[in-house]
Amino acid sequence: MKNTTRTLSLVASVSAAAVLAACGGGGGGSAPGTLSVAMTDAPSCGYDAVNVTVKAVRVHKSASAGENDAGWTDITLNPARKINLLNLTNGALEELGQTPLAAGHYTQMRLVLEPNTGASLANSIILTTSPANANEIALKTPSAAQSGIKLNHPFDVASGQRVDLVLDFDACKSIVKMGKSGGYGLKPVVNVIPTVLNGINGFIDPALLGSHVQVSAQQDGTVVRSTVPNANGEFFLARLPTGDYDVVITADDSATTVIGTVPVADATSVVTVNTNTAPIGLPAAATGAISGLVTLSPASDAVAYVAAQQSFAAGPTVTVQYQGADLETGEYTLSNLPTTAPLFAQYSATQPLAFAVQDNTVPGTGKYQVEASATGYATQFTPSVDISTTNQSGVNFALIP
């Protein structure tokens, strides 16, 4: 069941809560600890539903242990649970379960998904452009999804203590088109993030809610966390590492709006950037598109991501939009990019924020730096792509290690 943990609607944290008495089994005769696992999600790009069916979460002390080796401890969901990831925004959690766990250091964790079999769509999407009640589209899943998606986050379990892990399943990065064979593939991107609740919250003008509003917390153009506002226009960027963030707000046919240097001081602080009495509105804007091809040499099954970025003359670099290139053809299209100047306000505790048009962005109004990256390959940039008067195609990248 879901626990929103807040009045709003796959990095780990250990909570010092006393748990079970000694149950035997490992830890040098000491009492076991407890492992509890939940799931949350960043918003997906262009889908009305992203469904994954979770079968189990597995942990092991050895990083080299195979799936059939002894020593695994499992949290098994029986029956396997089908979860629409798009229900898990604004800090909402889906509790997957808990298990006693011998004290010690754990170096391997796997998230096991149920495969699609026959007419049963365990893992699927529904496109935003689909008519109401449209049929689900099956997601092609890698074999690793059935043996377990490896999650890189070692953790320690102390005797008699509880470890809470939150798996942040990034639906936007995990769904990729497969042009040659048709359909869509699941290339899971899952991070382990803090369970403690901190973050950044604020309000978007509810009139924008039908325009695919997305809100992200970024550092130097890297999206750290993203979400969508609820039915009241409120958003919450939850569970952020301590630091300063640029809050980037985008919507269809609207100018990009940025709040610079929002401080998250510690693991429990929540920073409010504005209130419902002064919701953030985005001015209407003409838009354009950038498209092209990304090739990987040598070829691999890595996903290439392409991002359109802008920099402020006296402020941050932000990502306005990003997308995974087609897994089979390498094609990508970044559409609905504003051709008008963005708005910017430096964060202040004094309300309301003073937004101003930034017509001196780099590379310029209606222009974008385009970045292409993939795990194991060197990142490449095209410094200035101008869509102020026409869409730009053929912005291609050939990534090498």
What pLDDT is attached to residue 393? 98
Stretch 69-84: mean pLDDT, rounded? 95
pLDDT of residue 106: 96
> pLDDT class for 143, splitting at 50, 70, 90?
confident
pLDDT at 25: 37
Residue 30 DSSP label: S
The residue-averaged pLDDT of 75-86 equals: 94
Average pLDDT taken over every residue of the chain: 88
Please give the Cα distance from 250 to 257 (Å, whole number).
Answer: 7
Tens of pLDDT, residue by residue over 244-284, are: 999 999 999 999 999 999 999 999 999 999 999 999 999 99
Quickly count helices (H) and strands (E) in the chain: 2, 32
pLDDT at 257: 97
How do residues 6-62 score in pLDDT, each as one tens digit?
Answer: 333 333 333 333 333 333 333 445 789 999 999 998 776 778 889 999 999 999 999
Residue 354 clears pLDDT 80, i.e. is over it: yes
- For the chain, what is the largest distance between any 2 Cα atoms, rounded to a whole number of angstroms? 72
Residue whose tokens read 């195979």:
66
What does each C-alpha distance from 276 to 233, 234, 355 come to in angstroms? 8, 8, 17
Structure pTM?
A: 0.86
3-state secondary structure of 171: helix
- CA-based angle 44:50:140, to the nearest 5? 110
pLDDT of residue 374 exceeding 60: yes
Choice among 145-149, 163-167, 283-287, 331-335 with the minimum mean pLDDT: 145-149
For position 229, what pLDDT does the model report?
A: 94
Least Cα distance to 176 among 33, 273, 44 occurs for: 44
| Domains and their CATH numbers in the chain | 2-193 (no CATH), 199-399 (2.60.40.1120)
Q: How far is CA 285 from CA 3, 17, 246, 339, in A?
A: 37, 51, 21, 7
Q: What angle do CA 62, 63, 67 make, to 5 degrees?
A: 85
Report which of 13, 305, 333 is spatially closest to residue 172, judged by C-alpha positions.
Answer: 305
CA distances from 97 to 75, 148, 275, 365 (A): 6, 17, 35, 49
Q: How far is the C-alpha of 317 from the C-alpha of 304, rounded, in Å?
A: 21
pLDDT score at 132: 57
* Residue 146 dihedral angles phi and psi, to the nearest 5°: -85, -35
Strand residues in 241-366 grouped as ranges (E): 243-250, 257-264, 270-272, 287-296, 305-311, 317-324, 331-338, 343-346, 356-357
Q: How confident is the model at residue 134 (pLDDT cuts 50, 70, 90)?
A: low
Check pLDDT > 80 for residue 364: yes
Q: Is the pLDDT of residue 130 over 70?
A: no
Predicted pLDDT of residue 23: 33
Q: Residue 171 — very low, low, confident or very high, per pLDDT cuts 50/70/90?
A: confident
pLDDT band at 110 (very low <50, low <70, confident <90, very high): very high
Sheet with 257-264, strands from edge to edge, namely 222-227, 214-219, 243-250, 257-264, 343-346, 356-357
> Which of these, 161, 27, 16, lies nearest to 103 by C-alpha position?
27
Return the pLDDT at 9.
Answer: 33
29: which DSSP letter?
G
| pLDDT tens digits for range 301-316 | 999 999 999 999 878 9
Name the CA radius of gyration of the chain, rounded. 22
Per-residue pLDDT at 27:
41
Cis peptide before 352 (omega within 30 of 0): yes
Question: Tokens for 383?
Answer: 């410094």
